[in-house]
Structure 1
Amino acid sequence: MDVVVLIVVAGLFAVVTGVNDGGALLATGLKLPSVRPATGILVLVVLAAVVPLITHRVAVTFSTRLASFHEPGGKIAMTVAVISSLAVVTALSLKGLPTSLTLAIVGGLAGAGLGWGLAVSPGSVLLVLAFGVAAPFAGGLLGWVLIRVLVAVTSARGLRRWHQAGFLLQSVAYAANDGQKMLAVFMIVFGFSDARLPYTSLVAVLFGLGTMYGLPKAGRTLGRELIASRPPHGVAAELAAGTAVIACAAVGMPVSMTQAIAGGLIGAGVAQGSGRVRWYATGKIVAAWLLTLPASALLSAGLAALVKGIASVELS
């Protein structure tokens, strides 16, 4: 496959990741003026470029532990996985079911590996899935605890400081974990296994462009549709999600930041009365999560097998 196509697919994936994830990272704090959107995007871009230089364990998990993409045909299988994951996320979003691109790419990589006949590690896939399921529950539990602490001990001025700390923690956690799926795609495309500043910088800039485009929509979904949100809920969700996701990064397990944030918001809402949570919207999001990974895996497996079959016929 032409290297230009591979680079375009990898770049598109980074932009769409910004649309899907970047806005969600900023949306929880939009009701507080302590982190302006422009400043927040700049912080996200810088950390997305720098943090993988310190630790890129999650990128390695994406690129090597799910399937052996270094084998012949691995780059084509990766391309099929990315296209399939983007197609599933787009289709669900058009149906009003916002979902996790992380779940989609995990399913896509595993499915494409199977469809192409690469060595796939069922144990690694199941372990990643287990951590992915646990992350929103951990975020919810932490959000439930933290909202009570914030309300009890924090003034309005203090809340702004907690927001700044929470946003920074959340951004570092994203750069150390969920955001590394973008770097992993470039690792597979160019065949390297370490983090390199030119690539992390390129990924970060593309991510930032997507974030600018996706912020308004993400703000509506998380800030208004999920719960009747007030500033303390957003701060509690930031702190909760950041803590849960950075803990998973420490063991190299990729999890979805958007799922952890949603869990933190729901936990914070329930702590102050379950009536704050819009359960219908919550149900839609959970349904989308449940559909995403298997749909992406099945689509990518079918497409990978089809592409491999066509390539085999042409070579014969």
Structure 2
Amino acid sequence: MVTSLLVVIVLLALVFDYTNGFHDAANSIATIVSTKVLTPFQAVLLAAVFNFAAYFFIKDHKVANTVSKIVLEHYVTLHVILAGLVAAISWNLITWWFGIPSSSSHTLIGGFAGAGMTNAIYMGANALHAIEMQYVLKIIAYIVLAPFIGLLIAYVVTILILNICKRAKPATAERWFKRLQLISAAALSFAHGGNDAQKVMGILYVTLIAGKVIHAGAAMPEWIPLACYTAIAAGTMSGGWKIVKTMGSKITKVTPLEGVSAETAGAITLFITERFGIPVSTTHTITGSIIGVGLTKRVSAVRWGVTINLIWAWIITIPISALIAAGVFALLKVLG
């Protein structure tokens, strides 16, 4: 029974990673599609290749380590992980259907934490005792900090580029920035793969511990990162055109120059946070970067109505995922 449940959870985790890929594909390719540098198919192919390329270069897995410690080991069971994954996949599909660029990362974290807290209640403990607050508070803080950092870097990069290129002929500059956007989109896709695939690695690692396949503190089996990077790259190949439309055109109109700035800022932010093991949202980061680009023109260049709707989606993602996970866990307890 435990073995079959373990297999189901591993498969569901990879399904989530796949949905993460097509849900968050828009993060790295929206601007390059909206500026018509690449066709949608060429863009997702580029993103998928660089999503997977992170497997060969990122070996420290600090983000995975953070995710694996969100719920204290005493409260982690296979049913907790299963409930968290079902909740995360459900919310990912709901937000994808409505074209809402919510955070796959926070969906997964909210689901895992919600199920763990519910298990603590069933065990007669305080729900908050189930989670490691230092990690949870850091993740919550970066709901605000990640987009703000992306916004700030994008604003500075755009101003620098505008000053450096102020004497360039517009046609020549646009041609060069279309080429540079291939590099910036590739960098963002690489950073997206390196950051987001690790979150599922952390979940799979605690799954093996809960299933008594490995002991806590053991090295992560090599098949986990390989499977996670493969799943997220495959998902990216499936696209996510509703969210591409929101990210690429509804927040602010983006030129190739601005696309380079936004993607570069997003990639830098993700590289920094990955270095410190902080599981931030790629969606939040690139959205902040696009807003930063818009602000270099004028405040009214940003469509604040759309942006405020996105912020509301960010705010509710963790609690809704946690509630769904709590309901799924309770149902699993009833079914035995």
Common fold: TM-score over 0.5? yes
Aligned with 1:27: secondary structure?
helix
| Residues 56/194 of structure 1: CA separation in 2 closer, same or farther (3 Å cut) | farther
- Is structure 2 residue 56 aligned with structure 1 residue 50? yes
- Is structure 2 residue 54 aligned with structure 1 residue 63? no
Q: Which residue of 2 aligns with 1:99?
A: 102
Structure 2: how far apart are the matches of 1:267 and 1:206?
Answer: 31
Instruction: Give the C-alpha shift of residue 308 in structure 1.
Output: 3.3
Q: Which residue of 1 aligns with 2:321?
A: 296
Q: Which residue of 2 aligns with 1:142?
A: 153
2:206 counterpart letter in structure 1: I
Structure 1: how far apart are the matches of 2:140 and 2:238?
Answer: 29
- Is structure 2 residue 266 aligned with structure 1 residue 241? yes
Q: Which residue of 2 aligns with 1:221?
A: 246
1:14 counterpart letter in structure 2: D
Unpaired segments ≥5 residues, structure 2: 121-128, 166-172
Asked if the contact 1:19–1:213 (Cα under 8 Å) also holds between the matched residues in 2, the reply is yes
Structure 1: how far apart are the matches of 2:104 and 2:199?
Answer: 9
1:130 counterpart letter in structure 2: A
| Residues 277/45 of structure 1: CA separation in 2 closer, same or farther (3 Å cut) | same
CA deviation vs aligned residue, 1:3-28 (integer Å, no higher than 9, x gap): 23112211211110101112321222
Asked if the contact 1:75–1:188 (Cα under 8 Å) also holds between the matched residues in 2, the reply is no
1:151 counterpart letter in structure 2: L
CA deviation vs aligned residue, 1:213-233 (integer Å, no higher than 9, x gap): 224333212111221121122
Asked if the contact 1:222–1:262 (Cα under 8 Å) also holds between the matched residues in 2, the reply is yes
Structure 2: how far apart are the matches of 1:26 and 1:74?
Answer: 37
Q: TM-score, normalised by structure 1?
A: 0.88
Percent sequence identity over aligned pairs = 26
Asked if the contact 2:95–2:102 (Cα under 8 Å) also holds between the matched residues in 1, the reply is yes
Q: Which residue of 2 aligns with 1:202?
A: 227
Asked if the contact 1:100–1:259 (Cα under 8 Å) also holds between the matched residues in 2, the reply is yes
Instruction: Give the C-alpha shift of residue 58 in structure 1.
Output: 0.3
Q: Which residue of 1 aligns with 2:126?
A: none
Match of 1:33 among 32, 37, 41: 37
| Residues 248/202 of structure 1: CA separation in 2 closer, same or farther (3 Å cut) | same
Structure 1: how far apart are the matches of 2:142 and 2:47?
Answer: 27
Give the alignment's Cα RMSD to 1 decimal: 2.4
1:178 counterpart letter in structure 2: D
1:236 counterpart letter in structure 2: S
Alignment of 1:103-252 (within 5 A): 103-117=106-120, 119-154=130-165, 155-160=173-178, 162-191=180-209, 194-252=219-277
What is the number of equivalent residue pairs in this alignment? 307
Structure 2: how far apart are the matches of 1:108 and 1:51?
Answer: 29
2:207 counterpart letter in structure 1: V
Structure 2: how far apart are the matches of 1:95 and 1:208?
Answer: 22
Q: Bigger radius of gyration, 1 or 2?
A: 2
